[in-house]
């Protein structure tokens, strides 16, 4: 179980508890959080679950693999150094307190 | 428009996305979803992939949690079927006898597998994979089987072949045409896929037709091909395409013809009735002729387009089509509609299993097929959305071309 904060582009926040073995993407879908489309359902194909990790993050996140890096080359909102695909971020207690920022658009 | 309900016929990806998008766009009137299956709306792509190995359980397929419908004030009438549309009365009649009045109607009736027409097609062990129930049947059948026959070398059949090889089955793919996925992809990609499947030990038979299935005690055992060959088969997966579900629209005298015919705003011949997803045939700026697309992208984007129209933000449907498949450990992604190309240029290395086929028609980029090169795929989608002007085949053919640096920086 981890508490995840999804910050919307207008600055409002939705904070939810997400259970393992879900991903940060699935946590948004399960809680009806707008701003995560996830067309491909979580297989790092579509780039529509793009998030920005909070700048001050110190929690351990998995290394980015090549396919994720490639997909992030074509996201609808600009790519930044903090960009990740939320479907590639598994939820565990280790990321309790994670804050992600949602981009203005996914499509 | 009035104040009555929006009724969505179907409960697949397009239907669910349309309901969700209506609420996300601030639509406050009643939304009613009618679906024949009892399962909540679920994701289909994993059914021919990870679901078959048991890695994904049914509840992981649900597109939204069960609480979604109540929270969003969406009425989901699952396990019931729309059987008649009375356009004069703006009413849909369900199999249960219930009648629902609509102000706007969205047809998201989907498609169904084309059936085999050979003797033995109704034997036990012969499966067409479309629904969760089909996938569950196939998952169990694969567990106990030694020999799998896949009829049709398209997306679904090849995905199942790949999974079944991974499970240790002996697999044969029979394709009546000369190429795998012959109607949708370039020869280069077809040939690459055939090589991958053969390297994994799958027997790929091209230009061969199935003529009969023979069984024992009602269960399939052997397939007979048109060259007289016999292939052992405890399970047969039929992947020979789908047919759009148009009966309801045709009964209501809406214009149909290999799909429910819609305009670029996804309206049928009746302006209060829309059609989206697999069942809709629509004009696209990305193709010469109206098309019907069976893809998650199309279902999702068309749903959003209609939801926008019903909330006062009408715009034509112009989304760039894209598709993906996973076979033999390769990520295969297609952007645009590539089937009518007249020139292809390969970028990258097919021998290393990392390349893209850039497809052109009349000098213009129409799409890209990428194998383990997602950046090419993603950037092509952006280029096509912007008209794809400027990128010529000769640019791609130039040594050292990298689409991530396109347009090239001035020297």
Give the strands of the sheet with B104-107, arranged side by side.
Answer: B74-78, B31-35, B6-9, B104-107, B273-275
pLDDT value at residue B408: 61
pLDDT value at residue B390: 80
Provide the mean pLDDT of chain B: 95
pLDDT value at residue A39: 92
| Residue B404's pLDDT band (cuts 50, 70, 90) | confident
Contact (CB, 8 A) for B205 and B182: no
Residue with structure tokens 């370039």?
B186
Determine the residue among A17, A41, A43 to mutate to test chain B binding: the one whose Cβ has the most chain B Cβ atoms within 10 Å: A41
Instruction: Output the CA angle B402-B406-B407, nearest 5 degrees.
Output: 150
Specify the DSSP element, H or E, that contains A5.
strand A2-7
Which one of A34, A43, A73 has the shortest CB-CB distance to B404? Answer: A73
User: Phi and psi for A72 in degrees, rounded to 5?
Assistant: -65, -10
Q: Would you state the structure tokens that stand for residue A36, as one six-digit string?
A: 């995560």
* pLDDT over threshold 80, residue B3: no
Q: What percent of chain B has pLDDT over 70?
A: 99
How far away is chain A from the Cα of B322, in angstroms, using its nearest Cα? 9
| Residue B302's pLDDT band (cuts 50, 70, 90) | very high
C-alpha–C-alpha distance, residues B61 and B48, integer Å: 12
How far away is chain A from the Cα of B296, in angstroms, using its nearest Cα? 7
* pLDDT over threshold 90, residue B295: yes
Structure confidence by residue, pLDDT tens digits, A15-30:
999 999 999 999 999 9
Which one of B63, B300, B381 has the shortest CB-CB distance to A74? Answer: B381
Q: Which residues of B touch A32 (CB under 8 A)?
A: 64-65, 68, 71-72
| Residues B375, A107: C-beta atoms closer than 8 Å | no
Rg, C-alpha atoms of chain B: 22
* pLDDT over threshold 90, residue B410: no
C-alpha–C-alpha distance, residues A89 and B261, integer Å: 41
Distance spanning both ends of chain A, measured CA to CA: 30
* pLDDT over threshold 90, residue B35: yes
| Residues A70, B373: C-beta atoms closer than 8 Å | yes
How far away is chain B from the Cα of A48, in angstroms, using its nearest Cα? 11
C-alpha–C-alpha distance, residues B395 and B398, integer Å: 5
C-alpha–C-alpha distance, residues B385 and B260, integer Å: 25
Which one of A34, A41, A47 has the shortest CB-CB distance to B378? Answer: A47
Neighbouring residues of B403: CB distance < 8 A, sequence distance ≥ 6: B347, B356, B375, B376, B379, B380, B396
pTM above threshold 0.90: yes
pLDDT value at residue B136: 97
Which one of B46, B331, B382 has the shortest CB-CB distance to A41? Answer: B46
* pLDDT over threshold 60, residue B1: no
Structure confidence by residue, pLDDT tens digits, B330-355:
999 999 999 889 999 999 999 999 99
| Residues A70, B375: C-beta atoms closer than 8 Å | yes
* pLDDT over threshold 90, residue B181: yes
- Tell me whether 0.90 is exceeded by the ipTM: yes
| Residues A41, B45: C-beta atoms closer than 8 Å | yes
Task: Determine the average pLDDT of the residues in B298-323.
Answer: 97
Please tell me what DSSP assigns to residue A67: H
Contact (CB, 8 A) for A62 and B326: no
Determine the residue among A73, A76, A78, A85 to mutate to test chain B binding: the one whose Cβ has the most chain B Cβ atoms within 10 Å: A73
C-alpha–C-alpha distance, residues B386 and B404, integer Å: 16
SS3 of chain B: the string is CCCCCEEEECCCHHHHHHHHHHHHCCCCCCEEEEECCCCCCECCHHHHCHHHHCCCCHHHCECCCCHHHHHCCEEEEECCCEEEEECCCCEEEECCCCEEECCEEEECCCEEECCCCCCCCCCECEEECCCHHHHHHHHHHHHHCCEEEEECCCHHHHHHHHHHHHCCCEEEEECCCCCCCCCCCCHHHHHHHHHHHHHCCCEEECCCCEEEEEEECCEEEEEEECCCCEEECCEEEECCCEEECCHHHHHCCCCECCCEECCCCCECCCCCEEECHHHEEECCCCCCCCECCCCHHHHHHHHHHHHHHHCCCCCCCCCCCEEEEEECCEEEEEEECCCCCCEEEEEEECCCCEEEEEEEECCEEEEEEEECCHHHHHHHHHHHHCCCCCCCHHHHHCCCCCHHHCCCCCC
Q: Which residues of B touch A14 (CB under 8 A)?
A: none
Structure confidence by residue, pLDDT tens digits, B227-253:
999 999 999 999 999 999 999 999 999
**Hey, is the C-beta of A106 within 8 angstroms of any chain B C-beta?**
no
Instruction: Output the CA angle B302-B283-B88, nearest 5 degrees.
Output: 70
* pLDDT over threshold 80, residue B2: no
Neighbouring residues of A63: CB distance < 8 A, sequence distance ≥ 6: none
Q: What percent of chain A has pLDDT over 70?
A: 100
Contact (CB, 8 A) for B175 and B344: no
**Hey, is the C-beta of A74 within 8 angstroms of any chain B C-beta?**
yes
Please tell me what DSSP assigns to residue A104: S
Q: Which residues of A touch B24 (CB under 8 A)?
A: 34
| Residues B65, A30: C-beta atoms closer than 8 Å | yes
Q: Which of B95, B94, B91, B88 is nearest to B105 (CA)?
A: B91
**Hey, is the C-beta of A50 within 8 angstroms of any chain B C-beta?**
no
Give the strands of the sheet with B364-371, arranged side by side.
Answer: B322-327, B330-336, B364-371, B354-361, B343-349
pLDDT value at residue B287: 93
**Hey, is the C-beta of B297 within 8 angstroms of any chain A C-beta?**
yes
Written as tens digits, the pLDDT of chain A (107 aa) is 999 999 999 999 999 999 999 999 999 999 989 899 999 999 999 999 999 999 999 999 999 999 999 999 999 999 999 999 999 999 999 999 999 999 999 98
Instruction: Output the CA angle B386-B403-A39, nearest 5 degrees.
Output: 60
Residue with structure tokens 């919307």?
A8
Which one of B45, B322, B378 has the shortest CB-CB distance to A70? Answer: B378
C-alpha–C-alpha distance, residues B258 and B250, integer Å: 11
| Residues B378, A73: C-beta atoms closer than 8 Å | yes
| Residues A67, B374: C-beta atoms closer than 8 Å | yes
Handedness of CA B45, B47, B49, B54 (dihedral sign): positive
Structure confidence by residue, pLDDT tens digits, B122-141:
999 999 999 999 999 999 99
C-alpha–C-alpha distance, residues B181 and B187, integer Å: 9
pLDDT value at residue B303: 98
pLDDT value at residue A95: 97
C-alpha–C-alpha distance, residues B250 and B320, integer Å: 28
Distance of CA B275 to the CA centre of its chain: 16
**Hey, is the C-beta of B324 within 8 angstroms of any chain A C-beta?**
yes
Q: Which of B334, B319, B298 is nearest to B44 (CA)?
A: B298
How far away is chain A from the Cα of B297, in angstroms, using its nearest Cα? 7
């Amino acid at each position: 179980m981890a508490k995840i904060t999804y910050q919307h582009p207008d600055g409002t926040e939705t904070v939810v508890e997400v259970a393992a073995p879900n991903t940060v993407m699935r946590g948004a879908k399960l809680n009806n959080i707008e701003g995560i489309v996830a067309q491909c359902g979580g297989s790092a194909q579509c780039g529509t679950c793009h998030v920005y990790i909070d700048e001050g993050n110190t929690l351990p996140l998995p290394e980015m693999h090549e396919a994720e890096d490639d997909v992030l080359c074509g996201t609808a909102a600009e790519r930044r150094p903090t960009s990740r695909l939320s479907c590639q971020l598994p939820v565990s207690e280790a990321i309790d307190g994670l804050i992600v920022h949602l981009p203005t658009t996914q499509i | 428009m009035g104040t009555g309900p929006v009724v969505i016929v179907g409960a697949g990806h397009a239907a669910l996305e349309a309901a969700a998008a209506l609420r996300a766009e601030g639509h406050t009137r009643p939304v009613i979803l009618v679906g024949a299956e009892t399962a909540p709306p679920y994701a289909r792509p994993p059914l021919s992939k990870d679901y078959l190995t048991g890695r994904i359980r049914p509840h992981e397929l649900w597109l939204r949690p069960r609480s979604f419908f109540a929270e969003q004030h969406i009425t989901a009438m699952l396990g019931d079927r729309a059987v008649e549309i009375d356009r004069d009365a703006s009413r849909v009649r369900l199999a249960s006898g219930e009648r629902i009045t609509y102000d706007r109607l969205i047809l998201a009736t989907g498609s169904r597998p084309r059936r085999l027409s050979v003797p033995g097609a109704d034997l036990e062990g012969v499966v067409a994979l479309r629904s969760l129930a089909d996938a569950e049947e196939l998952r169990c059948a694969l567990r106990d089987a030694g020999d799998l026959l896949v009829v049709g070398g398209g997306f679904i059949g090849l995905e199942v072949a790949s999974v079944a090889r991974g499970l240790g089955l002996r697999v044969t793919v029979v394709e009546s045409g000369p190429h795998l996925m012959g109607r949708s992809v370039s020869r280069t990609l077809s040939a690459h896929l055939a090589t991958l499947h053969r390297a994994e030990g799958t027997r790929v038979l091209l230009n061969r037709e199935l003529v009969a299935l023979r069984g024992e005690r009602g269960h399939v055992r052997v397939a007979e091909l048109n060259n007289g060959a016999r292939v052992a088969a405890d399970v047969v997966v039929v992947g020979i395409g789908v047919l759009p579900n148009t009966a309801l629209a045709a009964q209501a005298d809406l214009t149909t013809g290999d799909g429910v015919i819609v305009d670029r705003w996804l309206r049928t011949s009746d302006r209060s009735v829309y059609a989206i997803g697999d069942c809709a045939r629509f004009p696209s700026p990305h193709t010469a002729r109206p098309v019907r697309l069976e893809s998650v992208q199309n279902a999702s984007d068309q749903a959003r387009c209609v939801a926008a129209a019903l909330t006062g933000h009408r715009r034509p449907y112009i989304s760039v089509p894209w598709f993906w498949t996973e076979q033999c450990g390769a990520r295969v992604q297609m952007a645009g509609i590539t089937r009518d190309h007249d020139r292809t240029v390969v970028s990258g290395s097919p021998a290393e299993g990392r390349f893209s086929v850039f497809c052109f028609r009349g000098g213009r980029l129409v799409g890209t097929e990428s194998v383990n090169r997602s950046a090419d795929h993603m950037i092509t989608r952006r280029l096509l959305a912007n008209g794809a002007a400027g990128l010529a085949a000769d640019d791609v053919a130039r040594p050292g071309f990298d689409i991530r640096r396109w347009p090239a920086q001035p020297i």
